[in-house]
Homo-oligomer: A and B are copies of this chain.
Amino acid sequence: MSNDTPKTPVSAKREAILDGAITCFLEHGYAATSMDSVAAEAGVSKATIYAHFSSKADLFSAVIIRRCEGGLNSDAQWPKDELDARTTLTKMGRSLLEFMTSLETLSIHRVVVAEAIRQPELASAFWDSGPCRFFPRISERFADLDRRGELKTPTPMFAAMMFVNLIKSEYFFCRLLGLPKGTELMSADETVETAVNVMLKAYAPD
């Protein structure tokens, strides 16, 4: 029988704290979340939190980074190779916009933007482990379309960035502000369709 103690014993309490903290921070923001409320949500005492995390900012940082690394793993709708340019871009566009405007993604953006100035290391970690990880995957698809003669993208990375921003567009910003649906001038479908049309013409072969 083994009496070894694992080097990093995954503490059940620690997991509970992280889960509770995610709920609180994403719902109420950083400043409006108290360590008491996290303790209550996690079902532990406040002192236990401080046994695992040195401060509120430290806990917050751990929560955000963990959440970013978990995101963007639902690849169900991600387009396969061998599709024509319009179909590929439309599928990618819908998938991206849906992910960007999910409640969780929006919540993360709100709290990170709000705290970015006061916690620069967190902002960097978010950028690296969040938005930045999109670009290579999208760029790859543009490179593939270029190879197959469907599009002409001399710099796939630039094309990817333009595409992402066309997709986010006004629609994402309205959701980020929590405005009622219908406030935006273009619906989600219109946004994707318009963005795809722009990309197809801008990067057409010839």
- Would B168 and A124 count as touching, CB distance under 8 A? no
Chain B minimum-CB-distance residue to A164:
B170
Give chain B nearest CB distance to A174 CB in angstroms: 7
Interface size on A, residues (CB 8 A): 49
- Would A178 and B114 count as touching, CB distance under 8 A? no
Contacts of A32 in B (CB 8 A): 31, 118
Q: Does A198 contact B (CB under 8 A)?
A: yes
Q: Does A165 contact B (CB under 8 A)?
A: yes
For window 180-206 of A, CB contacts with B under 8 Å fall at 183, 185-186, 190, 194-195, 197-199, 201-204
- Would B123 and A116 count as touching, CB distance under 8 A? no
Q: Is the interface of A mostly helix, strand, loop or mixed?
A: helix
For window 1-57 of A, CB contacts with B under 8 Å fall at 29-32
On A, residues with C-beta under 8 Å from B are: 29-32, 109-114, 116-118, 120, 123-124, 126-127, 131, 135, 157-158, 161-162, 164-166, 168-170, 173-174, 176-179, 183, 185-186, 190, 194-195, 197-199, 201-204
30 example contacts (A-B, Cβ-Cβ < 8 A) are as follows A29-B31, A29-B114, A30-B31, A31-B31, A31-B32, A32-B118, A110-B113, A111-B114, A112-B177, A113-B113, A116-B176, A116-B178, A120-B178, A123-B178, A123-B179, A124-B179, A131-B170, A131-B173, A135-B185, A158-B190, A161-B169, A162-B169, A162-B194, A164-B170, A165-B166, A197-B202, A198-B199, A198-B202, A201-B201, A202-B202
